[in-house]
């Protein structure tokens, strides 16, 4: 879907998340959400906070799994995705901390593989992700699945692309401070979600959205693999859709 601007698009995505949470709650079940970071979903999280504060939306029975985290990364660092998620969403709603899952950037390297396997198992044990929201990086990455990622990849440690580290350099006060690695859910992990929403706003994302939607499917642009799934919706503003 294409919306006039990112504000109305964000409100629409938040409304879908809220409807999912409420429908699960009415059946006595827990919604399992896959969440993303970056500037793209900030408006969605702001609207979810508003729905919590003003319209009684409760996150008590909501379970979340974040897509990724830099590696290494301390959770209390300003640039960590833990900090991002608490600042933009979790600190403002009634979610139970025990239900929040974010890849652990503090592990020793030899403990990462077991952690990643366990991350997958936890998602499966809860019946899988009901909804995964995604942004897209200019390399065509989803999560931190950079070019070369396999369509059936699982949660794992990856090396970040140069362009991704350039784009992150502002947050870190210089590219040299941007970690070279990250832990990310795989493309295969993302694919198992029952519903996937990829959001993109602004002219800056128009070329990669054109490639992702209309380009030939290829590991060079990991987001093109989304063309394989029937459960994916692209939610765009006019600017991001302008090259389609
Ligand atoms: C980061 C995140 C991705 C995100 C991408 C785009 O690399 N790991 O999950 O989609 O950036 O970020 P932004 O939304 O800030 O453009």
pLDDT averaged per 10 residues, the chain (length 244): 98 98 98 98 98 98 98 98 98 98 98 98 98 95 96 97 94 97 98 98 97 96 95 98 98
Number of helices followed by number of strands (H, E) in the chain: 7, 10
Give me ligand 1 centre to Cα 211, in Å.
17
Which of 188, 90, 79, 202 has its CA nearest to residue 142? 188
Tell me whether strands 196-200 and 232-237 are parallel, antiparallel or unpaired.
parallel
Domain limits, the chain:
2-237
Query: In angstroms, what is the span from residue 26 Cα to ligand 1's centroid?
Result: 33
Residue 144's Cβ-count burial label (10 Å; 0-12, 13-18, 19+) is: buried
What's the pLDDT score for residue 17? Answer: 98
Best residue for ligand 1 mutational test, from 9, 13, 137 (most atoms within 8 Å of Cβ): 137
CB of 25 within 8 A of CB of 61?
yes
Handedness of CA 26, 96, 90, 193 (dihedral sign): negative
Per-residue model confidence (pLDDT) at position 191: 96
Query: Of 67, 20, 76, 46, which is closest to residue 198 (Cα–Cα)?
Result: 67
Confidence (pTM): 0.97
E strands present in the chain: 2-3, 32-35, 63-66, 68-71, 100-101, 131-134, 156-159, 181-184, 196-200, 232-237
| Ligand 1 site, CB within 6 A | 36-40, 67-68, 135-137, 143-144, 164
Report residue 243 CA to chain centroid gap.
24
Residues 63, 126 contacting (CB under 8 angstroms): yes
Please give the Cα distance from 151 to 225 (Å, whole number).
Answer: 7
Q: Does domain 2-237 have CATH number 3.50.50.60?
A: no
Question: Atom 13, ligand 1: which residue's CA is nearest?
Answer: 38
CB 101 within 8 A of CB 124: no
Ligand 1 centroid to Cα of residue 68, in Å, is 10
pLDDT at residue 125, as a whole number:
98
Among 144, 143, 66, 134, residue whose Cα is nearest residue 102: 66
Written as six digits, the tokens of 241 are 């859709």
Residue whose CA is at the smallest distance from ligand 1 atom 10? 135
> Of all protein residues, whose CA lies closest to atom 3 belonging to ligand 1?
143
Look up residue 147 and give its two tokens.
């070019």
Q: Identify the pLDDT of residue 190.
A: 97
What residues are labeled active site? Answer: 146
The ipTM value here is: 0.94
**Dihedral of the CA atoms 77, 38, 96, 179 (nearest 10)?**
-30
């Amino acid at each position: 879907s294409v919306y006039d601007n990112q504000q109305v698009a964000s409100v629409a995505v938040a409304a879908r998340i809220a409807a999912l949470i409420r429908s699960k709650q009415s059946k006595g079940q827990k919604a399992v959400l896959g969440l993303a970071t970056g500037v793209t979903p900030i408006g969605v999280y702001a609207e979810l906070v508003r729905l919590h504060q003003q319209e009684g939306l409760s996150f008590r029975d909501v379970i979340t799994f974040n897509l990724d985290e830099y590696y290494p990364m301390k959770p209390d660092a300003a640039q960590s995705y833990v900090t991002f998620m608490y600042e933009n969403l979790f600190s403002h709603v009634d979610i139970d901390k025990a239900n929040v899952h974010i890849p652990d950037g503090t592990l020793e390297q030899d403990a990462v593989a077991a952690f990643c396997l366990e991350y997958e198992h936890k998602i499966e044990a809860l019946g899988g992700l009901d909804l995964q929201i995604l942004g897209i990086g200019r390399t065509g990455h989803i999560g931190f699945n950079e070019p070369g990622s396999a369509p059936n990849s699982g949660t794992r440690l990856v090396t970040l692309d140069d362009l991704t580290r350039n784009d992150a350099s502002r947050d870190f006060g210089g590219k040299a401070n941007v970690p070279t690695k990250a832990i990310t859910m795989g493309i295969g992990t993302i694919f198992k979600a029952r519903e996937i929403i990829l959001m993109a706003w602004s002219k800056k994302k128009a070329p990669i959205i054109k490639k992702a939607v209309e380009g030939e499917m290829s590991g060079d642009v990991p987001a093109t693999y989304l063309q394989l799934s029937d459960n994916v919706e692209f939610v765009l503003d006019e600017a991001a859709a302008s090259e389609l």
